[in-house]
Structure 1
Amino acid sequence: MESPGGSGSLRGDISFWADRTPVHEAARRGEILQLQQLIESGACVNAVTYDSITPLHEASLRGQTQCVKLLLDAGAQVDARNIDGSTPLCDACASGSIECVRVLLSHGAKVNPPLYTASPLHEACMSGSPECVQLLIEVGANLEAHDCHFGTPLHVACAREHLDCAKLLLQAGANVNAAKLHETALHHAAKVRNVDLVELLVEFGGNIYARDNRGKKPSDYTWSSSPTAKCFEFYESTAVNRICQEFLFSVSFLGISRVEF
């Protein structure tokens, strides 16, 4: 078998090599002229390494927009998967490169590839790129995509303390009380002790009494007397007062003059 960079390879062929090819290296480094020369000489743009990484993965992960364009125009497979199942769009979102994301989407990249791992939206939330998150939402990203390790994109945004990303997801209709092993985004916000996240999640209906698989409420993950703990104390006391008021109103409405506890 000839080298992936040799003239005997077809640009659209799939090859399997343990090491990165010159095309991989040029794409990774953003060497546009070198990449163009390799393509023109017949190098395979879909050559894969032992972990199934293509040159398009390399360029996308490093935000090399011009290289991404060159590879796609030369026949690179836009939804190729690496050994982890990630597509170039996942990698572009991980890099936070909105330009690469736009190029990949314009070439037909699936915003909701059938993955069992992190989706492009997960990756955008992980990298903390509100621009990528907004664009993915606009083109129909699944807000409730579930990853066995991370949960939903909202879980990821809160675990990484990316407030802007979390707000965009919630405004788009993400389920604030979606659970991963009964753990909600509010549990994550409590664990990282982020008051702004806690307030945002409660504003959108986060359940302060939700219990995870250990039977713990979000407030159980805060330090006593910390700003986050005080925040939860306020919401819990407010909730109790509201319940009492509703109960007393019901009693009054029914005409009951005396209530014994």
Structure 2
Amino acid sequence: MSRKRGAEPGALPEHVGERKKACWGILTSQGRMSYIYQWLDVPWGDGDMGSWADRSPLHEAASQGRLLALRTLLAQGYHANIVTIDHVTPLHEACLSGHVACVRALINAGANVNAATIDGVTPLYNCCASGSVGCLELLLQNGAHTHTAYTHFPSALHEACKRGHSQCVESLLSHGVDPDYEVSHLGSPLYMSCLHQHTACSKILLHRGASVNLGRGADSPLHAAVRQDNADQVSVLLDYGADVNSRDSNNQRPVELAPPGGKTQQLLLTFEVSPRSLCQLCRLQIRNLLGPSRLKLLPVLPLPSLLTHYLEYT
């Protein structure tokens, strides 16, 4: 992901003298959005505006995992929460590159674990982008918020599901993240994992009590899995009670979206003529009655281990 800043302006013609000029620069915020800044009526050389003071040496050390250099810079007076113009902190950089030791050093130096860039990206989100469970656990142990106050901001759980980082998904859910946390334009985490064909993430979400039919609008996770022709994903969803009769925004059922003659279509057609067994229906009903927050209590119930494993899908 690009972290470069805009180029320095060239030398001014001699006849310009002391006239005030405008300068333009394009900055890239961690490869996701570009922002154009225009500074008008600022004389060259006045303060930081003309120097393009963006990424500090502390950012570079954190990004590259140079722990000794990072500690030295902190000892020399660099602030752990120094930011770029896009509000990227050294902790953002360390998490994006997965450098656990640097993350620990920055947190010990007072880094804000909930710092957000101008587009709402947090260090926790960057851990899920890089797949660094070690960095993620450190942040959570030191007070990182699992959700932001604004639902349109990037979601760490959705990012982990999108990239298939199942260990990050497991860690977030273990720390109390809602498996059904929705982002308006992305849908549910389960929908995201199905859309990007990460069956391992889907299994973890469903095991933790994610709603199997909660997708994005009228589009269910099953619709997403069928469109990708992912038979393994479809099979998992059916086991957890996916509704084969749900209709998307185009009024189509999942079987109508399956590629003709493929394994996914055959799986759905077979399922429709052989409905769920009584055992399956009971399992689904018991899990629904318990709810996501109490599924973890299944092992402590006075039940035969065989039944407990059946209820847990293990």
Scaled to the shorter chain, the TM-score interval is 0.7 to 0.9
CA deviation digits over 1:55-112, x for unaligned, max 9? 1111111101111111111111110111221211111112111110111111111123
1:91 equivalent in structure 2: 126
CA separation in 1, counterparts of 2:84 and 2:254? 43
1:169 equivalent in structure 2: 205
CA separation in 1, counterparts of 2:228 and 2:210? 20
**1:208 and 2:244 correspond:** yes
Does the residue aligned with 2:85 lie in a helix, a strand or coil? coil
Q: Could you tell me whether the CA contact under 8 Å between 1:121 and 1:133 is conserved in 2?
A: yes
**1:174: Cα distance to partner?**
0.3
2:68 equivalent in structure 1: 33
Matched letter for residue 250 of structure 2: R
CA separation in 2, counterparts of 1:158 and 1:41? 48
**1:118 and 2:149 correspond:** no
**1:207: Cα distance to partner?**
0.7
Q: Could you tell me whether the CA contact under 8 Å between 1:78 and 1:109 is conserved in 2?
A: yes
CA deviation digits over 1:5-33, x for unaligned, max 9? xxxxxxxxxx9976211111111111111
**Alignment partner of 1:151 out of 168, 178, 187:** 187
1:69 equivalent in structure 2: 104
Does the residue aligned with 1:19 lie in a helix, a strand or coil? coil
Identity %, equivalent residues? 39
Q: Could you tell me whether the CA contact under 8 Å between 2:114 and 2:144 is conserved in 1?
A: yes
**Alignment partner of 2:115 out of 71, 75, 80:** 80
CA separation in 2, counterparts of 1:146 and 1:110? 16
Q: Could you tell me whether the CA contact under 8 Å between 1:78 and 1:107 is conserved in 2?
A: yes
CA separation in 2, counterparts of 1:140 and 1:113? 14
Q: Could you tell me whether the CA contact under 8 Å between 2:219 and 2:249 is conserved in 1?
A: yes
Matched letter for residue 207 of structure 1: D
5 Å-filtered alignment, 1:228-243, equals: 228-239=264-275
What are structure 1's unaligned runs of at least 5 residues?
Answer: 1-14, 243-261
Q: Could you tell me whether the CA contact under 8 Å between 1:193 and 1:222 is conserved in 2?
A: yes
**1:186 and 2:222 correspond:** yes
CA deviation digits over 1:191-231, x for unaligned, max 9? 11100100100110101111111212222222110111111
CA separation in 1, counterparts of 2:220 and 2:258? 15
Does the residue aligned with 2:218 lie in a helix, a strand or coil? coil
Task: Calculate the TM-score normalised by the size of structure 2.
Answer: 0.68
CA separation in 1, counterparts of 2:182 and 2:149? 11
| Higher percent of residues as strand | 2
CA separation in 2, counterparts of 1:42 and 1:118? 32
What are structure 2's unaligned runs of at least 5 residues?
Answer: 1-47, 279-314
Q: Could you tell me whether the CA contact under 8 Å between 2:190 and 2:215 is conserved in 1?
A: no
- Tell which has more relative contact order, 1 or 2 (C-alpha 8 A, sep 6+): 1
Aligned residues: 227
1:104 equivalent in structure 2: 139
Task: Calculate the TM-score normalised by the size of structure 1.
Answer: 0.82
**1:225 and 2:232 correspond:** no
CA separation in 1, counterparts of 2:64 and 2:140? 22
2:58 equivalent in structure 1: 23
Q: Could you tell me whether the CA contact under 8 Å between 1:209 and 1:218 is conserved in 2?
A: yes
CA separation in 1, counterparts of 2:258 and 2:55? 46
**1:118: Cα distance to partner?**
3.4
* Gap change, CA 1:118 and 1:208, over 3 Å in 2: farther
**Alignment partner of 1:59 out of 71, 94, 114:** 94
Does the residue aligned with 1:155 lie in a helix, a strand or coil? helix
CA separation in 2, counterparts of 1:33 and 1:175? 46
Give the alignment's Cα RMSD to 1 decimal: 2.0
Matched letter for residue 39 of structure 1: L
Does the residue aligned with 1:167 lie in a helix, a strand or coil? helix
